[in-house]
Amino acid sequence: MRRGVIPLSLAVILAAITATTSFATAPGKNGAIAFRRYFDRNQSHGAIFVINPDGTGLRQVTQTPNQVVDDQPDWSSDGATLVFASNRDKVGRSKKFIYSAIFTVAADGSGLTRLSVECPSPAPEGKGCPYDYLPSFAADGGKVLFGRAPGMVMTMDSDGQNSHAVVNGTSDGLRTGYTVTDAQLSPDGRRLLFVRDNRGALKPKEGKAVYVASKQGKGARRVTPWNLGGGDNPDWSPDGKWILFRSNEELAAQVQIYVIRPDGSGLKQLTHFEKGTIVTSSSFSPDGKWIVYGASGVAGQADLYVMRADGTGVRQLTHTRFWESAPDWGSSR
């Protein structure tokens, strides 16, 4: 959750993107699960943690001061590096603008590296500072996909060079159009999925759905039905045969987790949560047999759970008073 005074057009768009997450699961042997833990109920302070699938080995990877959130972690295919979004460079700047950039860090917490372009200095109101969010590695580790406000899909080399737009939205947040976010390349690198979010008077009004296109962003077609408002971490299965997504709480009495084939067939509801259950983002395991997700837990906060890929065998992974979500399941080296 971002704080501060936001221009209205940007605020409308960011209301939809700051709660979502997008990750890529590379095929391989199951390793550690990365996630974001909020330290306060205002969700203004958070860091990246990892934990083993059996609940052991909990470890904090990034260190953050108050008012800083390291968010939306995504593993490289070899399980050696995490890419994530953070407002850490906002410290010392004006509180009248929001800010997010993309960083990488080694699994042991070393080698913190900024990938997003540097802001001009001084930039007291954030002028010239792009808002980059929702990063994910390509399966080969050579590219990083991410969102850039006000609603486009970007790609750059894993060292931060050669950034450019892949898919552009058509809305400024007030007029008719749409934004695009939550981008992720398929495990074979040939297809791109993203979430389209309708704005203004575009029909269906406030519609949200998962789309699949070529890796260049061409030939996009809608995969999920509008009535589910699909999104919030649409994740490819490691074999590329399924897309995991969450329904939108604004369109249904209770959010659920689903899978669907990339051609729009085979829709399956995996969960049957009772009304009032918190449900956050989810990720396939590298072997494709399990799913990790966030849901209601201790003290009314989100904890992490794992279940089989068919929705059975649910097991609670974390039991804390903190809000823990945005999980990504990494490979074991």
Structure confidence by residue, pLDDT tens digits, 52-71: 999 999 999 999 999 999 99
Q: What is the pLDDT of residues 258-288, one digit of tens each?
A: 999 999 999 999 999 999 999 999 999 999 9
Residues in the chain: 333
Confidence of residue 193 (pLDDT cuts 50, 70, 90): very high
Strand bridging mode 113-114 / 132-137? unpaired
Look at residue 21 in the predicted model and tell me its pLDDT.
40
Give the chain's domain count.
1
Residue 296 within any structural domain of the chain: yes
Band the pLDDT of 165: cuts 50, 70, 90. very high
The sign of the CA dihedral 33, 37, 255, 214 is negative
Q: How confident is residue 94, by pLDDT bands cut at 50, 70 and 90?
A: low
**How far apart are alpha carbons 228 and 220 in whole angstroms?**
19
Q: Other C-beta atoms within 10 Å of 17: how many?
A: 24
Instruction: Look at residue 176 in the predicted model and tell me its pLDDT.
Output: 76
Asked if the structure places residue 49 within a domain, the reply is yes
Residue span of the structural domain in which 93 resides: 8-331
What is the overall mean pLDDT for the chain?
87
Whether 1 maps to a domain, the answer reads: no
pLDDT at 26: 64
- Paired with 235 in beta bridges are 244
Q: Is residue 2 part of a domain?
A: no
Cα–Cα distance for residue pair 241/35, rounded to 1 Å? 25
pLDDT at 89: 81
Residues 30, 332: Cα–Cα separation, whole Å: 6
C-alpha span between 33 and 285 (Å, rounded)? 9
Average pLDDT over residues 325-333: 92
**Confidence bin at 2 (pLDDT 50/70/90):** very low
Q: What is the CATH number of the domain that holds 327?
A: 2.120.10.30
- Quick check: is 3 in a domain? no
Averaged pLDDT for residues 223-243: 93
pLDDT band, very low/low/confident/very high, at 132 (cuts 50, 70, 90): very high
| pLDDT for res 12 | 39
For residue 150, whether the previous peptide bond is cis, meaning omega lies within 30 degrees of 0, is yes
Distances (CA, A) of 261 to 127, 182, 211, 224, 291: 42, 17, 11, 9, 16
Structure confidence at residue 304 (pLDDT) = 98
pLDDT at 249: 67
